[in-house]
Amino acid sequence: MSASPLQHLGLLALDIVRLCLWLAFLLVVFVPLERAWALHPRRHFRKSFGTDLVYYFLSGLVPKLLLILPLTVLAATLHHLVGATFYQRVAELPLVFRVAAALVVGEIGSYWGHRWSHESPFLWRFHAIHHSAEEMDWLVNSRAHPIDMVFVRLCGLVPMYVLGLAQPMADRLDLVPVLVTIAGTIWGFFIHSNVSWRLGWFERMLSTPAFHPWHHTNDGPEHVNKNYAAMLPWVDRCFGTYYLPKQEWPTRYGTDTPTPPDLAHQLFQP
């Protein structure tokens, strides 16, 4: 039996409550961090804070709905072409191994999805909204057009599905994509945060608030189109887009691509 409209509304309400709880957690974590170690001191309710707050809820609700159909078709097609035996064998591997492998292959897929969003004029029309932020803080992570988010997430999920590391056809909850998504989401807020931390050798292993701002810089053409990886900076090293000077920080953020100031036009103009 299909769910009734009332059941759909109940699920939507649960999703909104979940997002509110996550928002409270993020505020408790990042507001004190940005106050104590601010790279660029500024008031917390900066310009476009309200718009980014709306994006936070859109980003938590809309991409999930838009991904249902393509991921269902992909999973069914793969199970038909490859067969269940391969996926059963992958599912028997230790959870730690599957999560680690999913992080790596998902990061490589997301890297290329993100890079294509810069290199394709059509995709850039959507991705430019994320880069329109002229001030960086943790909430900028949410500023993204739903189409942009769906494309990059799909690029990260496809290799996980192909290799059997994400198994939506299983008869129980698949923890691997859940854990990878949670880790990636939290890390996304962290690398956008306005903190002046430098973490030494750790920066070679995981992206940091020193690494990702160079992806958002508008300091000149020699600095742009760098640091596409969300979590693993060595992926940028492999593909020649790594950039992290030891002492220097970006001085300007944003993009020269004209972007409407209001939310409605940002969503519909691309």
* 21-42 residue pLDDT tens: 999 999 999 999 999 999 888 7
CA 46/CA 48 separation, integer angstroms: 6
**pLDDT at residue 10, as a whole number:** 81
Q: With contact defined as beta carbons under 8 Å apart, do 63 and 71 qualify?
A: no
When pLDDT is cut at 50, 70 and 90, the band that residue 172 belongs to is low
Q: Which of 110, 64, 139 is nearest to 207 (CA)?
A: 110
How confident is residue 177, by pLDDT bands cut at 50, 70 and 90? confident
- 118 confidence band (pLDDT: 50, 70, 90): very high
pLDDT bucket at 236, cuts 50 / 70 / 90: very high
Mean pLDDT in residue range 214-222: 89
Mean pLDDT for the stretch of residues 160-183:
80
Q: CA dihedral in degrees (141, 144, 149, 152; nearest 10)?
A: -70
User: By three-state DSSP, how is residue 243 classified?
Assistant: coil
Distances (CA, A) of 11 to 8, 76, 115, 134, 159: 5, 25, 34, 35, 29
For residues 163-190, give the mean pLDDT: 82
**Interatomic CA distance for residues 205 and 231, integer angstroms:** 8
pTM for this entry: 0.90
Tell me which residue of 217, 52, 234 sits closest to 142, measured CA to CA.
52
